[in-house]
Amino acid sequence: MLAKFAHISHSEYRPRYRMTNAHTGTYYRATAIGQIARPALHGDLHADVCIIGAGYTGLSCALHLANAGLKTIVLEAEHAGFGASGRNGGQVITGQRVDQIELERRYGKTQAHALWELATDAKSLVHELVAAHTIHCDVKPGHITAAVNTKHATELRHYVEFLAKNYNHQFSRYISQHEMPALVASSNYKGGMYDTSGFHLHPLNFALGLARAADEAGVTILENSRVTKVEPGGKIHLATQSGSVSADFAVYACNGYLEDLHKGLAATIMPISNYVAATEPLGEARARALIPSGAAIADTKFVLDYYRLSADHRLIFGGGETYGATDAADVASIVRPCIVRVFPQISDVKVEFAWGGRLAITMPRLPHIGRLAPNLYFAQGYSGQGVAIATLTGKIIAGTIAGQASKFDLMASLKIPPLPGGARFRMPLLKLGLLWYALRDRLG
């Protein structure tokens, strides 16, 4: 069947819905809805647009391109949602990865406001896609930024006031140290910011929902089809081990899994392996006692803890990271101490799932989006804020390719420098810098 795939039209192609082992070991994989087995690329195909990567960026881009009438192929090295899109903490936080005070300092008020509006649009787009395509991904409201010291608490109080005054953001309020235990049952925090417009969800099921919507819109998603070479030109040629695609446009949407596919793009991002664990089910009462607000929480450390409750009353907790393209072998041993430091009252609870996933950060902690040629686009480096921003970025690139108005120029104007040290030293140098900030966390 797969050998014949190159010779049939998309209307004849129907993906076979069955479970695969793409996310073995993750809670998200164990509770995935609609994971399907799609064929690999065999032979030579042609498309208006070919996208490399079936994460949020690639799937959103493909869906919006198909809705605009463009024949679109997605080449995925593993399975849809395999990377950070199917492994992250599931938190959708208001704004960019960098706060608005810092954005105003870097870029001025006009551009900072435009970036705020873009991030607001990104949150709205997630809600719209979930509703429009009936994506069952356990969306729950609320996000708390938890201050780990009094300096951070004072800064959060000021930031709440700043957003209300300068951005008319009425959804956040400051939480005093005295109030915090009523929202999250930990004694570690000196205050916080509660944003009711932030939310959390099951990230893999959101990605799988986007993939299903793309299938239904006419997109061809080919899995186990790692791109080995991209040849730019009037027609872009993308090769895998078993076939090729010729397209008028192409998009790199690989993020932390770009590796050596494009060395120039790889020089601007640092792959980080971040670690997440899910406890055994706690039962509704015990789970609610941990986070009475039901919100997602992220603290203010450089190597932050972030956590939330799942729909089946588990604690899903992210903590710890390693730098580079190698994942740790024993993830539970990294995350469990983080859980116990925040919630010593559940030190007896078993960790049932523990996994890692690779994200990509940039030096300024803002996404890197742009063109390598008039018909060759890229998007990467979401720096831990990708659920909504990557989804919107995919839509924006699709709109630009389709000749529609978009905010591509705004995002592309965020000049992202190569990491210092060149090809040989950039990874060791950045590791040293990140380890220094991690040490500051431990020293308080």
User: What is the domain-level CATH number for residue 304?
Assistant: 3.30.9.10
Closest among 425, 414, 407, 379 to 84, alpha carbons compared: 379
Q: Are 412 and 115 in contact (CB under 8 A)?
A: no
**Domain for residue 118, yes or no?**
no
Q: How many Å from the N-terminal Cα to the C-terminal Cα in the chain?
A: 59
Residues 301 and 321 reside in one and the same domain: yes
Within a domain: 427 = no
pLDDT (average), residues 197-218:
98
Q: Is residue 285 part of a domain?
A: yes
Domain presence at residue 332? yes
Q: What is the pTM of this model?
A: 0.91
| pLDDT-derived band at 431, boundaries 50, 70, 90 | low
Tens digits of residue pLDDT in 170-185: 999 999 999 999 999 9
223 and 284 share one domain? no
**Beta-bridge mates of residue 222:** 75
pLDDT tens, position by position, 74-84: 999 999 999 99
Does residue 330 register a pLDDT over 90? no
- 94: exposed, middle or buried (C-beta count within 10 Å: 0-12, 13-18, 19+)? buried
- Structural domain contains residue 314: yes
Q: How far apart are CA 223 and CA 319, in angstroms?
A: 30
Higher pLDDT, 49 or 257: 49
Highest mean pLDDT among 32-36, 42-46, 257-261, 428-432: 42-46
Q: Is the pLDDT of residue 436 over 60?
A: no
Sorting pLDDT into bands at 50, 70 and 90, what band is 8? very low
Decide if 235 is inside a domain: yes
Number of domains in the chain: 2
264 and 327 assigned to the same domain: no
Contact call for residues 381 and 360 (beta carbons, < 8 A): yes
Q: What is the mean pLDDT of the chain?
A: 89
Which distant-in-sequence residues (6+ apart) come within 8 Å of 396 by Cβ? 369, 406, 407, 408, 411
Q: Which domain holds residue 401?
A: 2-87+204-268+364-413
Q: Is residue 29 part of a domain?
A: yes
